[in-house]
Amino acid sequence: MATIEEQIERAKQRVKQLEARKKQIEARKLHLLVKGKRSNETRRKILAGALVLDMMEKDEAARQRFLDRLDKYLKRADDRALFGLNPLPDESRST
């Protein structure tokens, strides 16, 4: 039969194990929450982008306004190339 001190020590070990398990579960829940938010944000961007691309195909004035804004907004040469924009002068020298 275990002494009372041994029983207390086993109980303390069990509490530590349960606390560690609780932290793992909380971390997993937080990870899933953040992942879900990122997935929703990505989906919103894709849908909004699809709408803009559709508008650009149907309306030349809207297309030009959007490309003008992109020309001011996009800095990376590979991003600009996606929309047929020329690289910025500084970008071509640095690569």
Per-residue pLDDT reduced to its tens digit, 30-60: 998 888 888 999 999 999 999 999 999 999 9
pTM listed for this prediction: 0.54
Residues 71 and 41 in one domain: no
List Cβ neighbours of 74 (8 Å cut-off, separation of 6 or more): 80, 83, 85
pLDDT band for 95, please (50, 70, 90 cuts). very low
- Residues of 40-50 as b/e, b for ≥16 C-beta within 10 angstroms? eeeeeeeeeee
Q: Kindly state whether residues 22 and 51 are assigned to the same domain.
A: yes
9 within some domain: yes
**Predicted local confidence at residue 89, as pLDDT:** 86
Split into its structural domains, the chain has a count of 2
Give the domain extent around 79.
59-89
Contact assessment for residue 85 and residue 71, using Cβ atoms and an 8 Å cutoff: yes
29 pLDDT higher than 50: yes
On whether the CB atoms of residues 91 and 77 are closer than 8 A, the answer is yes
Do residue 29 and residue 11 come from a single domain?
Answer: yes
Q: How confident is the model at residue 6 (pLDDT cuts 50, 70, 90)?
A: very high
